[in-house]
């Protein structure tokens, strides 16, 4: 993975974490995510988008 991919991965991860943290617990529950799982979900999502 080169520097550009690493940067895209990191920025996508941060953006996803930020967006999910802005959601209410009810919104998260509707899509099957617990607040404690946000970072894991964001990592998986970022890898899928950049990968």
Task: Give the model confidence (pLDDT) of 1-43 as tens digits.
Answer: 789 999 999 999 999 999 999 999 999 999 999 999 999 999 9
Determine the pLDDT at residue 50: 75
Would you say 27 and 38 are in contact if contact means Cβ atoms under 8 Å apart? Answer: no
User: CA quadruple 50, 42, 17, 24: dihedral positive or negative?
Assistant: positive
Task: Look at residue 51 and tell me whether its pLDDT is greater than 90.
Answer: no
Determine the pLDDT at residue 1: 78
Where are the alpha helices (H) located in the chain, listed in sequence order? 3-21, 25-30, 38-50
The pTM assigned to this predicted structure is 0.88
């Amino acid at each position: 993975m080169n520097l550009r991919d690493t940067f895209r991965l990191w920025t996508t991860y941060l953006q996803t974490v930020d967006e999910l943290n802005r959601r209410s617990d009810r919104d998260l529950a509707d899509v099957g995510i617990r607040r404690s799982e946000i970072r894991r979900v964001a990592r998986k999502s970022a890898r899928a988008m950049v990968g």
